[in-house]
């Protein structure tokens, strides 16, 4: 049997500790499957004294991850530190420059520096693997890079953040407000003390930027993505979606258009009978539309120590087998530049909830502004049973729900801006796109 593949693991948090234990527990099976043993021979973490529940007595300790990355004692550097820059970036660059293959779960690092790191890996003829960076246990990176190498992807969309999916699920099932659901998610450890990165869509955007690069051959560029979070969603929106036959999910969507690749993250109404609508709680899912195939949906745990460590180990096993491909499925120099493409005509239409002032002429004014932008309505519902006091307690306001036919994002924004200037609505309109399945 070939010599062992020697790993250096930087970061011994939940994922790193589980990975070390998993490599030890699966030692015999891994050797048989990969044709050579896999061993963790060195580690680096902030505290050497902390009890992590794994046996490290025969493992060399490095205080500095960069020194570990350059060490002649390892073949593969596993980066589980996190963060877009700092020591994580320095260590990965050092490993690649030293001719070490790298496995990382660091979506932030890849979203910010993925193309440069891929080029460095290619120039040194080593692997840069990152299956765990997007959707954890779901093998979406290998599916896009390898499994669908012969298919032209036209659209990719998915639930890429378990925190948001948990909150939306709980809001729908228990009919309770966003803030209360968020607090519960924090109590259970699904959401951070500062949940902004998750609930405002930025975590999803980083993952989408990586997947879009694999799907469409574009450079990883988070700045090219339109991002909108879920903090404005109210139980009334979820109830309306249910009545209309939809469910609300925070989706990351990348679509091939005549003007380039449109990338967006926002709350979306999806048909309740679609595969992705069935995905509840902290679970993730990704649907791929490709020429010659029916839509392909992959579902699984998108976070957690075991799920993420399993994805990391699958990347390590690929290296042990001697497999190496361009990190993003094609040479880094052949990845196309991407710009923030305009939101195109949305074939699924829009859900719009307005708090309209209960007085003569309001409905006519709203209809006029929509008509000016050539927006056709599929349905309009006025919730007279949900009247609320108007601004400063004057008059009454009535929730009005509009469902449009296919129209352009710009047209919707212009029409709603005009309605706002007419002072016939209170507050900010709620707009949710309806995804065509």
pLDDT, position 291:
94
pLDDT digits (tens, 9 = 90+) for 126-148: 999 999 999 988 999 999 999 99
| Range 5-29 average pLDDT | 96
pLDDT of residue 393 exceeding 50, the answer is no
| Range 120-124 average pLDDT | 98
**% of the chain surpassing 70 pLDDT:** 97
pLDDT of residue 335 exceeding 80, the answer is yes
pLDDT of residue 329 exceeding 50, the answer is yes
Crossing angle for the helix pair 27-34 and 305-320, to the nearest 10 degrees: 40
pLDDT, position 395:
59
Q: Which residues pair with 79 in a beta bridge?
A: 10, 104
Domain boundaries, the chain: 5-137+309-334, 146-301, 345-434
pLDDT, position 215:
97
Q: Are 73 and 40 in contact (CB under 8 A)?
A: no
Please count the CA atoms within 13 angstroms of the CA of 194 that sit on its side-chain side.
2
Please count the CA atoms within 13 angstroms of the CA of 164 that sit on its side-chain side.
31
For the chain, how big is the Rg over CA atoms in Å? Answer: 24
- CATH class in words for 345-434: alpha beta
pLDDT category at 388 given cuts 50, 70, 90 is low
pLDDT, position 384:
53
Residue labelled with tokens 């309740």: 272
Give the active site residue among 6, 107, 207, 249: 207
pLDDT, position 198:
95
Average pLDDT score, the chain:
93
pLDDT of residue 386 exceeding 90, the answer is no
Chain centroid to CA 69? 28
| Range 370-395 average pLDDT | 72
Q: Give 146: exposed, middle or buried? Use CB within 10 Å, 0-12, 13-18, 19+.
A: middle
pLDDT digits (tens, 9 = 90+) for 39-83: 999 999 998 888 888 989 899 999 999 999 999 999 999 999 999
pLDDT, position 385:
54
CATH number for the segment(s) 5-137+309-334: 3.40.50.720
pLDDT category at 437 given cuts 50, 70, 90 is low
- Told to judge if 207 belongs to the known catalytic residues of this protein, a careful annotator would answer yes
| Range 410-437 average pLDDT | 92
pLDDT, position 189:
87
CATH T-level assignment (fold) for domain 146-301: Dihydrodipicolinate Reductase; domain 2 (3.30.360)
pLDDT digits (tens, 9 = 90+) for 235-257: 999 999 999 999 999 999 999 98
């Amino acid at each position: 049997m070939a010599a062992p593949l020697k790993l250096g693991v930087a970061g011994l948090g939940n994922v790193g500790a589980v990975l070390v234990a998993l490599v030890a527990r699966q030692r015999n099976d891994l050797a048989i499957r990969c044709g050579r043993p896999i061993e963790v021979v060195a580690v680096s973490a902030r505290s050497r004294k902390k009890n992590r529940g794994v046996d490290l007595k025969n493992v060399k300790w490095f205080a500095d991850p960069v020194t570990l990355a350059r060490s002649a004692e390892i073949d593969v550097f596993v980066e589980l530190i996190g963060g877009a820059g700092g020591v994580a970036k320095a260590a990965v660059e050092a490993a690649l420059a030293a001719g070490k293959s790298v496995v990382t779960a660091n979506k932030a690092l890849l979203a910010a520096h993925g193309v440069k790191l891929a080029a460095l890996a290619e120039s040194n003829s080593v692997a840069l693997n990152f299956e765990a960076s997007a959707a954890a246990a779901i093998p979406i990176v290998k599916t896009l890079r390898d499994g669908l190498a012969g298919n032209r992807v036209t659209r990719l969309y998915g639930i890429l953040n378990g925190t948001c999916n948990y909150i939306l699920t709980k809001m729908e099932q228990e009919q309770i407000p966003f803030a209360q659901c968020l607090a519960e998610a924090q109590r259970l450890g699904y959401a951070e003390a500062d949940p902004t990165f998750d609930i405002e869509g930025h975590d999803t955007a980083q993952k989408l930027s990586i997947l879009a690069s694999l799907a469409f051959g574009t450079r990883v560029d988070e700045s090219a993505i339109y991002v909108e979070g879920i903090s404005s969603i109210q139980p009334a929106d979820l109830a309306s979606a249910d009545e209309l036959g939809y469910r609300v999910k925070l989706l990351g969507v990348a679509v091939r258009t005549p003007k380039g690749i449109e990338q967006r993250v926002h709350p979306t109404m999806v048909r309740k009978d679609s595969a992705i609508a069935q995905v509840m709680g902290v679970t993730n899912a990704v649907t791929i539309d490709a020429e010659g195939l029916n839509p392909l949906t992959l579902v699984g745990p998108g976070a957690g120590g075991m799920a993420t460590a399993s994805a990391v180990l699958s990347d390590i096993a690929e290296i042990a087998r001697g497999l190496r491909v361009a990190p993003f499925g094609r040479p880094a120099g052949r990845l196309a530049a991407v710009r923030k493409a305009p939101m195109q005509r949305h074939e699924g239409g829009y859900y719009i909830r307005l708090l309209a002032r209960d007085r003569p002429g309001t409905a006519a004014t709203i209809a006029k502004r929509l008509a000016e932008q050539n927006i056709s309505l599929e349905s309009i519902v006025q919730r007279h049973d949900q009247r609320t006091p108007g601004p400063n307690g004057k008059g009454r306001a009535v929730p009005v729900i509009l469902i449009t036919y296919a129209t352009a994002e710009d047209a919707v924004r212009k029409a709603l801006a005009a309605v706002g200037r007419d002072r016939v609505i209170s507050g900010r309109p709620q707009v949710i796109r309806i995804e065509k399945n």
